[in-house]
Structure 1
Amino acid sequence: MAAPTTAKRVLHYLLFKGTVREGNYGTRVCTFLKKTIEERGNKATVIDPEVLDLPLLKKPLHFYQDRSQAPQVLHDVDKLIRDCDGFIFVSAEYNQSLPPALTNTVDHFPPASFKHRPAGVCTYSMGRFAGVRAGVIIRAFLSEIGTLHIPATFSIGEVHKAFSEDGVPTEDRTKESAARMLKELDWYATAICDSKEKYGAPST
Structure 2
Amino acid sequence: MERQVAANYKTQWTKLKQNIQARERGFTKRRYKGLDAAPRFVSRTLEYQYQRDYSWKKDGRVSISTLAGRIVLEFDGYTKHLESIAQGCETGAAKLSYQKSKKQYFLIVALNLDLPDPRPTDHKNVVGVDVGQRYHFVATDKDGQSLFEKGRQSASEKTSSLVQESPSSAKAPVLPRGDLSPSAVGKDGSSLIATTF
Task: Place the TM-score, normalised by the shorter chain, in its bin.
Answer: under 0.3
The TM-score with structure 1 as length reference comes to 0.23
Q: Which has the higher contact order (CA 8 A, sep 6+)?
A: 1
The TM-score with structure 2 as length reference comes to 0.24
- Going by fraction, where is strand more abundant, 1 or 2? 2
